Structure 1
Amino acid sequence: MDGPGSQRWELKLLGFWQLKLDGQPVAVGIRQQRVIAALALLGARSRHSLSSLLWPDSSETQAAGNLRASVFHITHKLPSFLCASNDSLFLEPDVEVDFHRIRWLIADIQDSAATVAAGSADILHNADLLPDWYDDWVIFEQERLQQLRLDGLETLANYYLRMGALGRATEAAHAATSIEPLRESAQLILLRCHLEAGNNASATRAFIEFRGRLGRELGVRPSSRFAELLDPQPTSTPPSAESQYRLPRAGGAG
């Protein structure tokens, strides 16, 4: 628990970069932002590895100088925020980072989806990591978090589907497909949600849209797994692009 006079640091990396002290935004230079973001995402780092990561195109001497200047600004303008030893740097343990909270939420979902609060699908859907940053190390973390978000959303959708909560299941599946429209596993869950709710027209539209995008962007067709849901039409002639799959009739008949 915070004691009298203690400071509360909050670091936001999802959606956009922002640092707050006791609820008030704090202005931070872009170089200092990059140092802080790297330590928040990657944990404690040696000065040498951090300077090489952040300034890969600079000489070792120049990169080290850039880091020293940035650390000086942080330690003097943001007291009790950064721990700096002779060789290593890390954020104070009490700094609240939204990136960590989203990772904990995903871990809770994978452990037991039944324990997470309503609205978790919306939180995962909007958890883009530093979307306007294009450093290689940031892109790697963006892709890793996106994969975890997708796994979490699919787990939620499958759980709600089993529980018969079709509205929440559809919301989670829609969130996953909007993040990655070409992800077959998410599209299959979305189709199941529509079919379980009796929304055959919605399932048809979703599948046709997915099939078209898959063909345009990757030049491939949906896998055979969709046939289990959409029932391939029996015919003695090769099916056309529009008739390869048909939905089961009402009542589940083929």
Structure 2
Amino acid sequence: MDAWAQLLGTEGATVLHLFGGPYVTAPARRISVPEGSKRLLAFVALHGDRVERRHAAGTLWPAGDDLRAAGNLRSSLWRLNRGCVPLIEAGKSSLSLRGDVVVDVHVITRWANRLIDGRPTATDLTVRPSGVDGLDLLPGWYDDWALMERERIRQRLLHALESLSATLLGLGRCREAVEAAMVAATNEPLRESAQRTLLAAHLAEGNWVEAKRQFTSYRRLLNTELGIEPHPCLFAMVRPGRAYAPAER
């Protein structure tokens, strides 16, 4: 996850990567997570705090009785401790991630929250994914809990990218604003707020032709996929002779 390196670059830290993962990086090495332990590790990490052993076992191994699920959980923990660095603290009734383990999702969510809340740091304004893969949590996982968390995080990051583009625009950093908005619009082409943000960035940069081309492409896609027209405010943004003003948020 090179795009997030500035946020995750805590020297000497053990980092659990769930974007494009799960896998672990420790100082100067990458560590694979045993296949049979990945779901348990991700489930505990995404809860962010202690999770009851019974809840974890029942969610991850719903087929069969409680005894079988509890046995599967113990087996998964054993494989994890045997084949990886210590990551989970296991009590009699609960599980939690070790306090010294950094989770990429937690760090990146805090980045997104600062942008959305309008209080980014200078470093926050230089960090963004370079493509749609940078927004993909636990790719290829289809468990209900993973799907829900993936969509929640994806929506948070899309809002953050739109906020990042608007903030950069306010600072006169139009090129970077275009790039941030393009990542959001590429990840979700039908998302009107992302398209509106991208149009505003093109127009602020003085690239009316680029804005018109982007609007035409979006309009065609919207007609093809949903049979509807863009919101009137988008038509107004690319009206010939219209003076630029930031798009409404």
Q: Which has the larger radius of gyration?
A: 1
Decide whether aligned partners of structure 1 residues 117 and 28 sit closer, same or farther in structure 2, where only a CA change above 3 A counts: closer
Match of 2:16, SS state, is strand
Flag as ranges the 4+ runs of structure 1 deviating above 6 A. Answer: none
Structure 1 residue aligned with 2:240? 248
TM superposition score normalised by structure 2: 0.84
1:48 maps to what in 2? 54
Indicate the residue corresponding to 2:37 in structure 1. 32
Deviates more, 1:167-176 or 1:74-83: 74-83
Whether 1:120 and 2:120 are equivalent positions in the alignment is: no
How far is 1:133 from its partner? 1.4
1:249 CA displacement: 2.8
The residue that corresponds to 2:99 in the other structure is: 93
SS at match of 2:136: coil
Range with bigger deviation, 62-71 or 115-124? 115-124
**In 1, Cα distance between equivalents of 2:217 and 2:66:** 51
**In the alignment, which residue of structure 1 is the partner of 2:7?**
none
User: What is the Cα deviation at residue 25 of structure 1?
Assistant: 2.5
Aligned with 2:57: secondary structure?
helix
- 1:167 corresponds to: 175
Equivalent residue number for residue 12 of structure 1: 17
Amino acid at match of 1:113: P
TM-score w.r.t. structure 1 length?
Answer: 0.82
Higher relative contact order (CA 8 A, sep 6+): 2
CA distance 1:55–1:228, shift in 2 (3 Å): same
User: What is residue 154 of structure 2 aligned with on the other side?
Assistant: 146
Distance 1:152 1:89, change over 3 A: same
Matches within 5 A, 1:140-219: 140-219=148-227
Counterpart of 1:249, as a letter, is G
Helix, strand or coil for the counterpart of 1:113?
Answer: coil
CA gap 1:227/1:180 in 2 versus in 1, 3 angstroms:
same
Per-residue CA distance 1:6-48 (angstroms, 9 max, x = gap): x852211112321234332233322211111111111321111
Aligned length: 230
- The alpha carbon displacement at 1:121 in A equals 2.5
Q: Which runs of 5+ in 1 are unaligned?
A: 1-6, 231-246
- Equivalent pair of 1:109/1:116 in contact (CA under 8 Å): no
8 Å CA contact retained: 2:87, 2:97 = yes
Q: Which runs of 5+ in 2 are unaligned?
A: 1-11, 245-249
Q: Output the amino acid matched with 2:109.
A: R
- 1: CA distance, partners of 2:85 / 2:129: 34
- Secondary structure, in 3 states, of the residue corresponding to 2:99? coil
- Larger CA deviation: 8-17 vs 114-123: 114-123
* Distance in 1 separating the partners of 2:79 and 2:242: 67
Closer/same/farther in 2, CA of residues 160 and 25 from structure 1, 3 Å limit: closer
